[in-house]
Structure 1
């Protein structure tokens, strides 16, 4: 019997693109498609057709129809996971704490670091704005008006942190109330003995299932990112950006400096960890945040990044990351600093050194005091402007470009959340250094085999 030997060279198995690359491709493709749609069509519909007697434009069908529906479903699917993820993870983390005083240390360190980085952010923004003068010589007239909503007092925010109805808090997505209830529930489980241990195992299983669901949605992210970018760039007015180009570029510059200079310096100084590992491993979460413009919607991905890629133990990540998504507003603080100086220059108002110090103080405290309030960025800016007697209607001048800037500052915010989580975890000996230094950590967990749904998928 003869045996044939195949001497032909074996073709190498093609390597699939990683999740980061696929998300980036989806984002770039969406930007290109959206810009082309705006250039080729307008919302009156140059190319239209009739369906069941209805006159439908191609632009409306794509942008307001397909892109809007798919994008909204993608955002909703992410938000769907936020409440169960935060509650289950925080209960697991709290119930595993053998030292109750550790919870107080985690909270104190996290809040102090978030306030510190926010103060740095707005100080940096005000300094850059005073040097570059983005509003000098401009005579902008806004066709829209902005009516400032009244922000709650700090005392009222503290009172509102205690949930009167935990189920209602979960239904409304009130993150501070959810955190308080989950912490109390976890402490009670830890003090209950055998019953608490049995319930802890149930919550740990729930946590594993929820994290797998996060992984599934992450694999669908390139398509969601594509439609979100396509819709945004098909509708955004580039003429508005052109008129505010100096302000727009200055905010972007300050955001990049804070993310790539301030954060690495703070991380290296306080923990000794390599900043390059943090920046490299934040790519997926930052792209998610950029696409969704929502720290809350990105929270499942941020949590997965902190635990699986950065090595932060669940007992720390489950507390610091959700807290950061609620009160950490470094990107928003940068926008406020530049916007305040910009509006003052446009209206010809000279602010004193004391005024600028008041801007820094007000914006820093407001980042905690207005946590969880809808439209928090503009509410905080209105508070800052009122504090230094600037016209609040000046906010209307920058609303046109705020959507694009919001995307970038959300990416900065989630990076800050993970940086603080790493510093706190390192100080509490709750950071897996090997995972943090491993460039491939967490990558295998991102893959989902939709063809073979077994325990190893």
Structure 2
């Protein structure tokens, strides 16, 4: 009988072919140098206009403050206010005109456009399929897990251990990021010419402004966070993958109430969710079969879109610092698995390899959640009572890789733009990055939003914020893929450690 290729090797083959295909297509139908130069010129003007606009808005705010405090006369205030508003209005018109021209310029290779229109949609379809079953899987498996506990005190024990471990691993991650960045100093020695080139990179201006806008809605205090956990409409929460904490709250509450009403009354509901859980797990098995094709499409799109080698080389030191720090975090996980769980760390990595490869390809902890739950339960041996509780929470609040990245990126931006930070600032980074990781959606690009929150917490100059974010945006997609691998590895490690601590770690059903 012919031996079947293991899933992780199928995914690796898909990744390699996707990278090769992306490299080839990125060089098919490239625009000529004249169009490139024209586009670069417009982008430089656009970046300058956006930066000037932010400065003017701050000046307008400061002018209003001076007038209210009586430091500026009424006539002077009106004249200066009108001048600033006229300049902002003129900049709005110029920005709109520049953006329209840039949209009309054929700056993308035809091969890249082909991948975006005809190849990438297959990868997007796969991600949507995983997101489709994420909420039903959480509800079915978590209710099944809670109902099977038979004792509410066991649930509190698992919950407390889970939260403590998630917080500790996140603090470890941030500390490693700060330590490595302080030793290597990735932003030192970067020239002004390089900064200008990186911040005028095509397509960055709109993304930077969108991320800064998103960061305003993410900033919440602890009380607001607690209020947000409780949904006012569970069906609305179930329709939004970004509201996993709300769904988890309702599901745990329902599971506990099923325990309280007794086995006889709860049996019809329990049987329903047991059947639903089995059906959803079968859907995971079917969806995962197309993973190699999806990975091919996703990687081809990433590679085709990352075709500026000079920009990548300019940020090589920074990128290697992030990746090196992430690798150290893997060592921490392996120490937990080896010393506490008493399992072979390499065996553990082999069992969760498909999860890591999918996380790398999709850049989404939420999208890989169904696969992570299946691998940890069936291939590592974590009891469903633990995996169904720990992993959905981890996909929402545990972002070790992303938190570590915040630390390195903050030090890099501050060094590159000559903003001094103190030891107290670095303690603030630890605290803010920890809080920012809680409740932030596990979707691509959220790391930049969290980074903005961290930079604002140390009073980084507002006028330099767009410049700082634009500086690292060119390699953010690649680093997002790497840090998502650490996020899901951390979730699997904590689930395994919690299972060991409560005697719920058994023998795996399958092994690769």
Length-normalised TM-score, structure 1: 0.86
Cα distance in 2, alignment partners of residues 80 and 295 from structure 1: 14
In the TM superposition, 1:376-455 aligns within 5 A as 376-391=446-461, 392-393=465-466, 394-432=468-506, 434-435=507-508, 441-442=510-511
Q: CA deviation at 1:442?
A: 5.0
Q: CA deviation at 1:239?
A: 3.0
Query: Equivalent residue for 1:30?
Result: 18
Cα distance in 2, alignment partners of residues 195 and 62 from structure 1: 57
Give unmatched runs, 5+ long, in structure 2: 33-105
Q: Are 2:141 and 1:153 aligned?
A: no
Cα distance in 1, alignment partners of residues 189 and 417 from structure 2: 10
Q: Are 2:394 and 1:342 aligned?
A: no
Query: Equivalent residue for 2:57?
Result: none
Cα deviations by residue, 1:353-396 (Å, 9 ceiling, x for unpaired): 22212211221222125457995422321121122222432122
Q: CA deviation at 1:280?
A: 1.6
Cα deviations by residue, 1:248-292 (Å, 9 ceiling, x for unpaired): 111111111211x11112333443333222212110100111111
Larger helix proportion of the pair: 2
Contact 1:366–1:380 (Cα < 8 Å) also in 2: yes
Q: CA deviation at 1:172?
A: 1.3
In the TM superposition, 1:56-67 aligns within 5 A as 59=111, 62-67=114-119
Cα distance in 2, alignment partners of residues 74 and 263 from structure 1: 29
Q: Are 2:292 and 1:240 aligned?
A: no
SS, match of residue 149 in structure 2: coil
Structure 1 residues 128-137 or 354-363, which shifts more?
A: 354-363
Q: CA deviation at 1:103?
A: 1.4
| 1:106 aligned to which of 150, 153, 158 | 158
In the TM superposition, 1:155-194 aligns within 5 A as 155-173=223-241, 174-193=243-262, 194=264
Q: CA deviation at 1:330?
A: 0.7
Length-normalised TM-score, structure 2: 0.77
Contact 1:94–1:315 (Cα < 8 Å) also in 2: yes
Give unmatched runs, 5+ long, in structure 1: 1-12, 45-54, 444-457
Query: Equivalent residue for 2:348?
Result: 278
Compared with structure 1, are the counterparts of its residues 61 and 130 closer, same or farther at alpha carbon in structure 2 (3 Å cutoff)? Answer: closer
Cα distance in 2, alignment partners of residues 374 and 36 from structure 1: 25
Structure 1 residues 389-398 or 182-191, which shifts more?
A: 389-398
Q: Are 2:249 and 1:249 aligned?
A: no
SS, match of residue 398 in structure 1: helix
Contact 2:365–2:395 (Cα < 8 Å) also in 1: yes
In the TM superposition, 1:32-51 aligns within 5 A as 32-42=20-30
SS, match of residue 351 in structure 1: coil
Compared with structure 1, are the counterparts of its residues 35 and 162 closer, same or farther at alpha carbon in structure 2 (3 Å cutoff)? Answer: same
Structure 1 residues 136-145 or 264-273, which shifts more?
A: 264-273
Query: Equivalent residue for 2:170?
Result: 118
Cα distance in 2, alignment partners of residues 327 and 278 from structure 1: 23
Contact 2:147–2:259 (Cα < 8 Å) also in 1: yes
SS, match of residue 297 in structure 2: helix
Structure 1 residues 135-144 or 218-227, which shifts more?
A: 135-144
